[in-house]
């Protein structure tokens, strides 16, 4: 996923600039960049652009949730101190996990398809089809104890 859009303008999915600012802030808290693992955070420009472009059927619920988060922050989550942002978000997660699940889904769907992130978790950056994957062959002697125990089904006549 490589293309980028200016994340401060209204996104193609209809998120407002304010909602995008809030999304960036929440995404950064959810999955921050890590030097140890060599990965960007979910607030990275490219990942965020992908996220904004593709909330799919969650678009309306996402926008409504971001507005609620900003409202709970007194207007703009991004304007608060980082520590206050964290405590507000964890309080909301504890109170209404189902609502926040939409946000988690939207963020994770974009984050875990970024080439850099996939490389870091050992996945090839490609769709599953058409190459598929390999599985080891099976040694069916593992079933010997099951065979030895004999029939298990219940006659019905």
Give the nearest distance from C-beta 154 to another protein in angstroms. 4
**Rounded distance between C-alpha atoms, residue 30 and residue 45, angstroms:** 15
Q: Which two tokens mark 82?
A: 């980082």
Give the residue, chosen from 3, 81, 95, 133, that forms a contact with another protein under the rule CB under 8 A.
Answer: 133
143 sits near another protein (criterion: CB under 8 A): yes
Give the nearest distance from C-beta 66 to another protein in angstroms. 16
CB closer to another protein, 76 vs 113:
113
CB closer to another protein, 8 vs 156:
156
Compute and round to an integer the Cα radius of gyration of the chain. 22
Give the nearest distance from C-beta 36 to another protein in angstroms. 7
Backbone angles phi, psi at 97, to 5 degrees: -60, -35
105 sits near another protein (criterion: CB under 8 A): yes
Give the residue, chosen from 67, 76, 93, 116, that forms a contact with another protein under the rule CB under 8 A.
Answer: 93
The 10 Å CB-count burial string (b at 16+, else e) for 137-148 is: eeeeeeeeeeee
Per CB under 8 A, residues contacting another protein are 1, 29-32, 34, 36-37, 39, 54, 56-58, 86, 89-90, 93, 97, 101, 104-105, 108-113, 117-118, 121-123, 125-138, 140, 142-143, 145-147, 149-157
């Amino acid at each position: 996923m490589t293309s980028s859009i200016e994340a401060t303008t209204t996104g193609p999915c209809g998120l407002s600039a304010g909602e995008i600012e809030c999304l960036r802030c929440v995404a950064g808290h959810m999955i921050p960049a890590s030097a140890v693992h060599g990965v960007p955070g979910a607030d990275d420009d490219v990942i965020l652009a992908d996220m904004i472009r593709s909330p799919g059927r969650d678009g309306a619920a996402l926008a409504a949730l971001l507005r609620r988060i900003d409202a709970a922050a007194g207007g703009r989550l991004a304007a608060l101190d980082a520590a206050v942002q964290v405590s507000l978000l964890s309080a909301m997660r504890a109170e209404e996990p189902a609502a926040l699940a939409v946000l988690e889904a939207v963020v994770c769907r974009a984050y875990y398809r970024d080439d850099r992130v996939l490389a870091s978790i050992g996945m090839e950056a490609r769709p599953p089809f058409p190459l598929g994957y390999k599985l080891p062959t099976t040694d069916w002697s593992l079933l010997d104890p099951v065979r030895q125990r004999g029939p298990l089904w219940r006659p019905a006549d």
